[in-house]
Structure 1
């Protein structure tokens, strides 16, 4: 491996580690997200800051276009795909919550649900948009593309991102959320690997979260 190849591998590895770690840390718990409106706002700013750092890394360090993480200009003909996929994913999650979890003697974290329900609508709207954008950029667009490039394996990229995405949500919602986050992670990964257009993922993800929290 020559110097250029070694640098390229190091840049890939550093980006992958940053995204997977930064996207998994329980910022909400550390800063007591629901303590006040200022805490809610600061929590959102942390996530947008991470997204900005990913953009800066892609642009200034990797010197690549945003298309390299799936951010292509969306086609109107693809919009129905995103909408249908979002609806199917939402239906699957509803079935898991109402049938799957009770079958295993599990239930959603009621405290989290209650806390989110008591937050201002404007914050929930901002949070839904942020979650759809940031999680898809980190766990699908960047992570899948770079892990596949680093490992030369689409399967490895899919498995690693799904596992980390699921565990990141378990850290905030508890182990009862593993089926919900796992299903969502698999669904959004399938969509991204199929179309390789991150905007479709953001739209589908937004639909799911909007139905749940708005």
Structure 2
């Protein structure tokens, strides 16, 4: 384990501010809001396409992306759009999204917070046992194992960019207040999980989301958050493998 004399400043050192030409504030807001709209396109683009008479679901089903697995396509598409926006329009680097090489301390904290999230989930199950899996988890468990692995990995990489890296950094820059950025973006991450997994998700699994936000705010390294996100989601493989072996 590497030691640091002042870990609180590590995120700033890991992702130094990029020199930029000043933009008019209104233009900066417009660029950021369009970027956030692209980041959250999985929530609105499929519905707009269907309303326009173009239903992508049959094409996705033809390549095995049915039900929850379709999120792989939409998340990857949104991530590609955001990265293209960052490079092509904003003229910035990935470090502006806190995508930098994690230090040993970043990964150490990811491990610590993963243990804390799993301990809470275990304690919640002990205090109030979940009698049956929620419909969302049951649907995912019925998917092919490779599809679930792809969902875990794509969610870990893409959702960290779409819900943490881009919107948190841009809103923090524009408002000067990290808490405003978190309060604004958090519901857009949590609510879809409630629709998929039900309100009990808050008791049993929201600890993973809390751990990811703590890691992001404490260490400021998005790659470490991706590792933690993948680890938090990995237990869904247990019922998946059990369902296929059974």
TM over 0.5: yes
Match of 1:38 among 41, 64, 73: 64
Q: How many residues align?
A: 205
Query: Would the aligned equivalents of 2:160 and 2:225 in 1 still touch at CA under 8 Å?
Result: yes
Q: C-alpha distance in 1, partners of 2:107/2:78?
A: 27
**Deviations 1:45-101, CA, capped at 9 Å, x for gaps:** 22111111111111111111100111011223432221222221222233334535x
Answer yes or no: is 1:163 the counterpart of 2:198. no
Alignment of 1:20-31 (within 5 A): 21-22=40-41, 24=43, 31=57
Deviation at 1:44, TM superposition (A): 1.5
Alignment of 1:1-214 (within 5 A): 4-19=24-39, 21-22=40-41, 24=43, 31=57, 38-40=64-66, 42-99=70-127, 110-180=134-204, 182-214=206-238
Query: Would the aligned equivalents of 2:148 and 2:237 in 1 still touch at CA under 8 Å?
Result: yes
Q: C-alpha distance in 1, partners of 2:96/2:142?
A: 39
Deviation at 1:140, TM superposition (A): 1.2
Deviation at 1:169, TM superposition (A): 0.9
Deviation at 1:182, TM superposition (A): 4.1
Query: Would the aligned equivalents of 2:35 and 2:85 in 1 still touch at CA under 8 Å?
Result: yes
RMSD: 2.9
Q: Point out the structure with max Rg over C-alpha.
A: 2
Query: Would the aligned equivalents of 1:70 and 1:196 in 2 still touch at CA under 8 Å?
Result: yes
Q: Please state which structure has a larger fraction of its residues in helix.
A: 1
Answer with 70-79 or 172-181: which moved more: 172-181
Answer with 85-94 or 151-160: which moved more: 85-94
Deviation at 1:35, TM superposition (A): 7.2
Which segments of 5 or more consecutive residues in structure 1 lack a partner in the other structure? none
Q: C-alpha distance in 1, partners of 2:236/2:36?
A: 30
What is the TM-score with the length of structure 2 in the denominator?
0.72
Q: C-alpha distance in 1, partners of 2:42/2:205?
A: 14
